[in-house]
Structures are given as C-alpha cells and as structure tokens.
C-alpha cells in the first residue's frame, strides 16, 4: 500500500500556547513531548523539516549579508542542491504534491518545489492578482487593467471585495485575526484528491501582526536590545498573542476534521516552525535569539490505519526528524523518534540590523551578533555553543561535561554553506 502524507505547519506557534491542539488526541493523533525547532525563523526551519538537515548543513540560513528580504535565490539554489528534500523524493515517486500556504516565504518563489501551490492571505487567494501585478512591474492599476482586458474581472472583483472587507475592521479597532486559514479550509473541501499525494499546509494565524499598528518590530527591536537602547514602541503582544494562537489551534482542529474525508492510509503531521518572543526583556518577534519561547514547538502525528505509532525513545525530538518519520512510514520501517542531543542554530539576525547602526562604535557592538550559535538540548538540560569560538555558554546545572562532549561529537554541525 502507498501511504499519503499531510504535513501542516502552524506558523509561529509556541508550545506553551498550543493547548488547543489537545483535541487532536481525541481524533487519533499522538503527541510527542519536548519537540524542538531547528531554527528560530521560517525558511531555515522549513528547509530542515523537508531535508532532515540542520541549517549549518543545508546552508539556508541568515548571515551578515543574507536576510529574509534577499533570500529567494539562495533558498532556490540550495534546495536544488539538496534535491528538494522529501518533497522532491515523493514527487519523483509519482506523488501529487500540493501546497495550501498562507506564508509566501514557503512557496516556489523561495525554492520550495510545490508543483501546485496556492498562496493565501487574510483576503483569500491572491496568487492570480499578484501574478498580474508582478508582470506589470509592481504597478497595481496597470496590472488591474491587464486583468480586465484578459477577461479576469471576476478574480479582480473578488480580490478587491476581500481587500476592502479585510481593512474594514481597522475602522472598528479590531485586531487582524484572520490570516488566510478560512480559505485554506474552503479549498480543502473542494480539493480533488489524487492518490498518492503529499499535501502541505501552512497556517499563519499565530503570526504577527496582532494589532494594526504593530509594524515590523524585529529589526529595530533587536538592534535596540543588542545596543542597550529602549525600543520606541510599547507593544502589548503578551495578551494579544494568546487570542491569535487560540485561533490558530482552533483552525488546525477544523482542518484535521475536514481531512477526515481523506483516505485512511494517510499520515498526518502537525507542528510549528518556531515560536514567538512577546516582549520579555525587550525581545520581540522571531529570529536571532535561541530562547525556549522560539524553539519549543508542538508535535502531533496521526498514523495511517494499521500502522503502529512510533515511540519516543529520548527526551527531545527535533522537527528535522520529520523526513525520517515520513520515509519510515512510507517504506514500512519500524522506528523511534527522539535523540539524546537536539540542536537549534542561529547565524545572526534575520534582518539587516547593521542598517540601524549610527557609528563605528555601534557597528562594532553589533558584529558579535553574527556568530554561529547552537543551542543544544540534552538529558540534564541545555547549553549553548558559540561555534565561531568553541566557547560553551549558558550551561544548565544538570548538564555534565560528559553530556557536552557526547553532544558535540554526535551532532552534524557545520559553519559553511554547501558548495
């Protein structure tokens, strides 16, 4: 029997805000404890979840000259080197690969090899309108006129209506809760299943913004933290994030219920790519930092009918084990999840924080932020390795010298991108 795969990522969902996913256990899902994301932001973490390799190994990570804004070519090139991970493997084996994603970073534009990919936002599906506007050099009126000439007025009217509907809550000071999952659910209900299939879903409701005046705090807030300056905005993310996380988990349950119509020989994986910093100690957003709030994520798995759930052999599970999980199920191999040492990596801020530097003194103060740091979870707790210098930092009391040596020996850490 050829098994199908559904892989759903609840973008930016912290494990300690994911209690709503407990309902999945009543639907046959198995919860795995102490799941750790391999990176603190979207692209490196997703690539690890598709390739089974840490960011230092697959090469899709930030550095002083590479940021989220200029990641497209690097991600596409390196994913090609990686043979496109488990997505490419399944496609080569004849699987129909489909994506419904609310995060445009997880799309073919950034190298993710989805032959069929529908990108959604809070206004619904915008792929066709974006394509016309992009061909018009980013000029919205010119792209709209071209759509009219091509007879695409229906898509244009729907997009305009949804955009107006989306902006209307600003007048009522309602938070921007909806970020596309309603349209993913609608699409799932009408999706024509062709077996065997690999279906990827990304849900963005836990991602910022949490109010209409949030802006994009990551770069400036991180600059302020690293230089000891107060951040100018007072963001009430602590209370608002909970509401957004609750909606994300509720929609995940709705999607799982909608997927009940899928064939019983389907593996269903639910996790997150990273968490979120909500203002503690002046830290906001995600990226750069290696706090538990960014790295501890939920992990639930529903196995195909007749497949015995895999046990968890160690205290921590890396979400980079997901390709191993998928392949083990597809090939009928018995396996266990977890490892004695689990790592997450950072190579610096994912934003160009150097742009905020006022002088050479600030640039010197920011330079150490671009060291390769690795947070390692093991039996007695966790510690951080500065891979640029070899120094061990922030070692918990329960971590022994033997634990450190064993982890450094066993983990496949590297500092350079593959050639």
- pLDDT of 137 reads 63
Residues with Cβ within 8 Å of 214's Cβ and at least 6 positions away in sequence, in order, are 208, 235, 237
| Local confidence band at 171 (pLDDT 50, 70, 90 cut-offs) | very low
Mean pLDDT of 64-81: 70
How many CB atoms lie under 10 A from the CB of residue 64?
A: 15
Fold for domain 4-122+176-340? Answer: Alkaline Phosphatase, subunit A (3.40.720)
Mean pLDDT of 388-397: 94
Determine if the peptide bond prior to 117 is cis (ω within 30°): no
- pLDDT of 419 reads 30
Calculate the CA 353 to chain-centre distance.
Answer: 22
The Cα angle at residue 65 between residues 9 and 352, in degrees rounded to 5: 70
- pLDDT of 418 reads 34
- pLDDT of 107 reads 87
Please report, for the chain, the start and end positions of each structural domain, with discontinuous segments joined by +: 4-122+176-340
SS3 217: coil
Q: State the distance between the two ends of the chain, measured CA to CA, in whole angstroms.
A: 38
Among 23-27, 104-108, 269-273, 298-302, the least confident range: 104-108
Q: Which of 7, 5, 6, 23 is nearest to 272 (CA)?
A: 7
Question: Is residue 50 within 8 Å of 286, Cβ to Cβ?
Answer: no
Mean pLDDT of 188-213: 92
Question: Is residue 337 within 8 Å of 303, Cβ to Cβ?
Answer: no
Q: Residues 21-49: pLDDT tens digits?
A: 999 999 999 999 999 999 999 999 999 99
- pLDDT of 160 reads 62
**pLDDT(155) > 80:** no
- pLDDT of 130 reads 61
Report the distance separating Cα 80 and Cα 239, nearest Å: 41
Q: Residues 206-251: pLDDT tens digits?
A: 999 998 777 778 888 999 999 999 888 888 898 899 999 999 999 9
Q: Residues 327-358: pLDDT tens digits?
A: 999 999 988 999 999 999 999 998 888 989 99
**Average model confidence (pLDDT) across the chain:** 87
- pLDDT of 64 reads 80
Question: Is residue 10 within 8 Å of 247, Cβ to Cβ?
Answer: no
**pLDDT(126) > 60:** no
- pLDDT of 417 reads 34
| Local confidence band at 119 (pLDDT 50, 70, 90 cut-offs) | confident
Residues with Cβ within 8 Å of 380's Cβ and at least 6 positions away in sequence, in order, are 396, 397, 398, 399, 400, 403
């Amino acid at each position: 029997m050829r098994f199908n795969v559904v892989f759903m990522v609840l973008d930016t969902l912290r494990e300690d805000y994911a209690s709503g996913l407990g309902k999945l256990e009543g639907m046959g899902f198995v919860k795995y404890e102490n799941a750790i994301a391999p990176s603190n932001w979207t692209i490196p973490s997703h690539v690890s979840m598709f390739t089974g390799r840490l960011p230092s190994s697959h090469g899709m990570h930030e550095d002083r000259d590479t940021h989220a804004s200029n990641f497209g070519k690097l991600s596409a090139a390196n994913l090609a080197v990686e043979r496109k991970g488990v997505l490419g493997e399944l496609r080569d084996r004849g699987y129909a690969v489909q994506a419904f994603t609310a995060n445009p970073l997880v799309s073919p534009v950034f190298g993710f090899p989805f032959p069929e990919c529908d990108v959604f936002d809070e206004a619904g599906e915008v792929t066709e309108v974006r394509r016309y506007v992009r061909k018009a050099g980013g000029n919205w009126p010119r792209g709209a006129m071209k759509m009219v000439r091509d007879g695409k007025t229906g898509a244009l009217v729907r997009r305009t209506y949804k955009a107006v509907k989306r902006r209307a809550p600003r007048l009522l000071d309602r938070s921007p809760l909806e970020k596309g999952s309603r349209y993913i659910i609608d699409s799932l209900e009408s999706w024509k299943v062709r077996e065997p299939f690999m279906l990827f879903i990304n849900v963005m409701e836990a991602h910022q913004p949490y109010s209409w005046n949030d802006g994009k705090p990551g770069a400036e807030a991180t600059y302020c933290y690293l230089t000891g300056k107060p951040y100018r905005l007072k963001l009430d993310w602590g209370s608002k994030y909970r509401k957004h996380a609750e909606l994300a988990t509720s929609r995940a349950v709705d999607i799982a219920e909608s997927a009940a119509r899928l064939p019983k020989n389907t593996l269903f994986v639910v996790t997150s790519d990273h968490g979120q910093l909500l203002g503690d100690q002046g830290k906001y957003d995600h990226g750069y930092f290696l706090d538990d709030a960014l790295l501890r994520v939920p992990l639930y798995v529903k196995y195909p009918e007749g497949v015995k759930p895999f046990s968890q052999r160690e205290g921590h599970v890396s979400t980079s084990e997901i390709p191993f999980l998928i392949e083990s199920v597809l090939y009928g191999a018995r396996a266990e999840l977890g490892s004695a040492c689990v790592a997450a990596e950072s190579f610096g801020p994912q934003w160009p924080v150097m742009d905020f530097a006022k002088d050479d003194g600030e640039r010197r103060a920011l330079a150490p932020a671009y060291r390769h740091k690795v947070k390692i979870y093991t039996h007695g707790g966790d510690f951080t390795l500065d891979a640029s210098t070899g120094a061990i930092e922030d070692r918990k009391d329960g971590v022994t010298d033997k634990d450190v040596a064993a982890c450094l020996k066993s983990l496949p850490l590297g500092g350079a991108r593959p050639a």
